[in-house]
Amino acid sequence: MTVDLDLLLDRYDDGTLTRRQLLGALATFVLPVASPPAAPSIALAKQLNHATLYVRDVAQSQEFYQRLFGMPVLTAQPPGVNLAVGTGFMGLYPADSGVEPRIDHVCLGVDRFDADVVKRKLGAAGVEATIRARADTKELYFTDPNGIRIQVQDIRYRGGVGPLGARNP
C-alpha cells in the first residue's frame, strides 16, 4: 500500500494527477473493502413485499396515498386496505385507540416460501419466530436485533385472506 501511496503523491507532485483525483484515490485507502454477501442462511429476499402501517383513519390515509401517488386498492381486508405499490403493497390498518400511528412491520418476499422450514432455519440461527394462520395462509414473524418486526412471505403474497393472498370467494 505504501508503494501505491508514494506513486500517487509523485504523480500529484509532477502534475499528472489533479488534486481532486488525488483526494478520490486517497479515499480508497480508508474505505472498507466490499466483500460479496455470504449465501443467505434462511432464503434470498427477492423483494420488499409490503409494509403495514397502523394509522388514525384508514379512509383518510387511503385518500392521501391515492391522491399523491395513485396507489390503487389491491385487496380490502376490513378494517383495513392494501394499496398496490409496484410488485408489492402497503397495508393501512386502524391503530388502537390511544396508540400512536406507526409502521407495524415490513415483509420480505422469498421464492417457494414454507413457513415451517423458515421457522426451523431461523431457530437454528438463534432467532425466535412465530407463525400465525390467516385463513389458508401461514404468516411468519420475527424481530430483528433492533426490535423491528419482520414478516417473511412468498413473493406472490398480496395481502388477501386465502392461499398466498388470493381473495376467497
In this structure, what DSSP letter does residue 43 have? -
Does position 101 have pLDDT exceeding 80, yes or no?
yes
Enumerate residues 6+ apart whose C-beta is below 8 A from 142. Answer: 122, 127, 128, 129, 130, 149, 150, 152
35-80 confidence digits (pLDDT tens)? 667 788 889 999 999 999 999 999 999 999 999 999 999 999 999 9
Residues 19 and 99 grouped into a single domain:
no
Sorting pLDDT into bands at 50, 70 and 90, what band is 161?
Answer: low
Residues 102 and 156 grouped into a single domain:
yes
For 2, 19, 31, 110, the CA distances from 34, given in Å and listed in that order, are 21, 25, 9, 25
Residues 22 and 98 grouped into a single domain:
no
pTM of structure:
0.72
Looking at residue 33, what is its pLDDT? 65
Residues 94 and 157 grouped into a single domain:
yes
Residues 105 and 131 grouped into a single domain:
yes
Other CB atoms within 10 Å distance of the CB of residue 32: 5
Residues 73 and 122 grouped into a single domain:
yes
Percent of the chain with pLDDT over 90: 60
Contact in structure between 55 and 101 (CB atoms under 8 Å): yes
- Mean pLDDT of all residues in 115-143: 93
Instruction: Say how far apart CA 7 and CA 156 lie, in whole Å.
Output: 54
Looking at residue 166, what is its pLDDT? 54
Residue in the structure block whose three cell numbers are 488525488: 22
The answer to the question of residue 123 being in a domain is yes
The answer to the question of residue 4 being in a domain is yes
Contact in structure between 165 and 156 (CB atoms under 8 Å): yes
Looking at residue 70, what is its pLDDT? 96
Contact in structure between 28 and 52 (CB atoms under 8 Å): no
The mean-pLDDT minimum among 11-20, 62-71, 83-92 falls in: 11-20
Does position 169 have pLDDT exceeding 50, yes or no?
no
- Mean pLDDT of all residues in 106-134: 95
Residues 25 and 50 grouped into a single domain:
no
The answer to the question of residue 40 being in a domain is no
- Mean pLDDT of all residues in 87-93: 94
Residues 10 and 79 grouped into a single domain:
no
Residues 139 and 82 grouped into a single domain:
yes
Residues 121 and 58 grouped into a single domain:
yes
Does position 114 have pLDDT exceeding 90, yes or no?
yes
The answer to the question of residue 22 being in a domain is yes
The answer to the question of residue 86 being in a domain is yes
Residues 56 and 4 grouped into a single domain:
no
Instruction: Say how far apart CA 64 and CA 56 lie, in whole Å.
Output: 13
Domain that holds residue 7: 1-35
The number of domains in the chain is 2
Mean pLDDT comparison of 15-19, 57-61, 110-114, highest-scoring range: 57-61
Does position 32 have pLDDT exceeding 80, yes or no?
no
Residues 50 and 88 grouped into a single domain:
yes
